[in-house]
A and B are shown apart, each in its own frame.
Chain A
Amino acid sequence: MTALLSIRGVEAAYGAIVALKGVDLEVNQGEIVTLIGSNGAGKSTLMMTIFGNPRARRGSIAFDGRDITALPTHEIARLRIAQSPEGRRIFPRMTVYENLQMGAELDGAAHFREDLERMLAIFPRLKERLHQRGGTMSGGEQQMLAIARALMARPRLLLLDEPSLGLAPLIAKQIFAVVADLNRREGMTVFLVEQNAYHALKLAHRGYVMVTGQITMSGTGAELLANPDVKAAYLEGGAH
């Protein structure tokens, strides 16, 4: 397998606060890879550093063999990397429909109708809300919209930042099922950040553990699930 996304020794900071202290990580074509860690470990920063915001101060990031470390954010996105970011970031004064259009912008809107139908089939809730403004929806609905918006781009790499955050367990489960399904049937490559470590490791082929800006452990999902340290730190009472 070739690494679709390869992160080497990446350091990033917000002003004087160093958030990433030399991260090495790989995501291969067709894989689901998860990154787990506690609040403030730097997971979301890594997701944004892939997009150059904040930019890596040291180290390199390559996508499909091409160095993207210094590329402007929108050009990185145009390589078909889509993200459902931390805090969902729905365009609040655009309708659900327009938010999905924004997602499809990367795809040149060539498959808009078809993809729209597909998203509305996956998330029927969005169909009911299609002409409602994004900012007026509930957190769970916004989360679905953020994921659907990312999928509208037909991404080669899908980055999901805490897709289960704030969702009812049933809906969270449904979203993980959607991700697993897209991966299995279409071979979509997924890089997933989660606090809900149990579900994430169950779903992922491989996983990394991040502590204060550094990768401390990696392995297959099953290995990490069985690891006593991971169990103690991230899975206590979380296996439900």
Chain B
Amino acid sequence: MGIEVFVQQLINGLTLGSIYGLIAIGYTMVFGIIGMVNFAHGDVFMLSAFIALIGFLVLTTILGIGSVALALFIAMLVGMVLTSLWGWSLERLAYRPLRGSFRLAPLISAIGVSIFLSNFVQLAQGARNKPTPPMMQEVIPLFERNGYLVALSYKQLIIMLVTATLLTGFWYVVKKTSLGRAQRACEQDRKMAALVGIDVDRTIALTFVLGAALAAVAGTMYLLYYGVVNFADGFIPGVKAFTAAVLGGIGSLPGAVLGGLIIGLVETMWSAVFPIEYKDVASFCILAIVLTFMPSGILGRPEVEKV
């Protein structure tokens, strides 16, 4: 692989990794606070891509908004609101009643929700790929070597910028605001959190809302990047984002982002060298290897705490 291909794949990998990272945060946050893998999260991401698509088409064709960026931005906001609502109801209806039940119960419920969501979208939208009209085709040429043009597309730039901005804001919320402190308190000791006056149920619901909102951004970015979405798109990106969360150390927010970037890079680098059909195999081998040899991930904490 020449340097030009490497740099191009680096750009592609970081873009893809940003999307995975945004989804991975939803997995890791929910796991951190209630110790459950929300397997429906990938489908929430898929749902949000559909909402963004529908929103975008309504805004551009029916309401006649000329600016693609503006239409996409509004569609993303709408998507964030709707998926947040969905995340909130999901927690309320499918998970909260099972809290205090045996450990596997919410997990099974999550798988049920996931099947429900993908089938619902299949029924409502059809099984075929849904494309967007071509948008933002411009690229910024970086350099040319051996007749190969290395370029950063507007789409990629937007995806990376949006992700970086959002993560900064998100980091601030978690570290510096009382909502973030309440979340961390519930994650570390739910019983004590209630003793200092924190509404634990509300905090858990807000965690689902935040995770769903980030997934909505990821869904919009995914749509922008690939220009197409399908009812089954919740599964593979969802499991990859889950892999990213595990690789980074489940429960760790920086870990989720780091894991996302690594998975994105592995995937694109693999595709540059090996047959592209096997790129998913590469990602999932990472999942197996991490779970076997370092289950607490790169930035995860070991289970034992000094008490």
Contact A74–B198 (Cβ < 8 Å):
yes
Task: Among A91, A136, A153, point to the contact of B192 (Cβ < 8 A).
Answer: A91
Q: Closest CB-CB distance, B210 to chain A, in whole Å?
A: 19
On chain A, the residues within 8 Å of B185 by CB distance are 91, 94, 102
Q: Closest CB-CB distance, A26 to chain B, in whole Å?
A: 22
- A51–B200 Cα distance when bound, in Å, is 14
Contact B197–A92 (Cβ < 8 Å):
no
- Identify the interface centre among A91, A92, A94, A98: most chain B CB within 10 Å of its CB: A91
On chain B, the residues within 8 Å of A77 by CB distance are 194-197
Contact A135–B306 (Cβ < 8 Å):
yes
Task: Among B184, B194, B301, B306, point to the contact of A51 (Cβ < 8 A).
Answer: B194
On chain B, the residues within 8 Å of A153 by CB distance are 196-197
On chain B, the residues within 8 Å of A69 by CB distance are none
A43 touches B (CB below 8 Å): no
CB contacts under 8 Å to B, within A82-97, are 82-83, 85, 87, 89, 91-94
A223 touches B (CB below 8 Å): no
- A83–B194 Cα distance when bound, in Å, is 11
Count: A-B pairs, CB below 8 Å: 70
- A162–B188 Cα distance when bound, in Å, is 22
- A83–B178 Cα distance when bound, in Å, is 20
On chain B, the residues within 8 Å of A72 by CB distance are 194, 199
Q: Closest CB-CB distance, A136 to chain B, in whole Å?
A: 6
A53-B191, A91-B188, A92-B188 given as contacts; is B307 within 8 A of A102 (CB)? no
On chain B, the residues within 8 Å of A87 by CB distance are 307
A78 touches B (CB below 8 Å): yes
Could you give, for residues 117-147 of chain A, a 1 whenever the CB lies within 8 Å of some chain B CB and a 0 otherwise? 0000000000000000001100000000000
On chain B, the residues within 8 Å of A135 by CB distance are 305-307
Contact A51–B195 (Cβ < 8 Å):
yes
Q: Closest CB-CB distance, B110 to chain A, in whole Å?
A: 26
Contact B192–A106 (Cβ < 8 Å):
no
On chain B, the residues within 8 Å of A136 by CB distance are 306
B96 touches A (CB below 8 Å): no
On chain B, the residues within 8 Å of A103 by CB distance are 196
CB contacts under 8 Å to A, within B293-307, are 301, 305-307
Could you give, for residues 178-209 of chain B, a 1 whenever the CB lies within 8 Å of some chain A CB and a 0 otherwise? 10011011001101111111111000000000
| Smallest CB gap from A77: residue in B | B197
On chain B, the residues within 8 Å of A51 by CB distance are 194-195
Could you give, for residues 201-230 of chain A, a 1 whenever the CB lies within 8 Å of some chain B CB and a 0 otherwise? 000000000000000000000000000000
A contact set with B: CB distance below 8 Å:
51, 53, 72-74, 77-78, 82-83, 85, 87, 89, 91-94, 98, 101-103, 105-106, 109, 135-136, 149, 153
B contact set with A: CB distance below 8 Å:
178, 181-182, 184-185, 188-189, 191-200, 301, 305-307
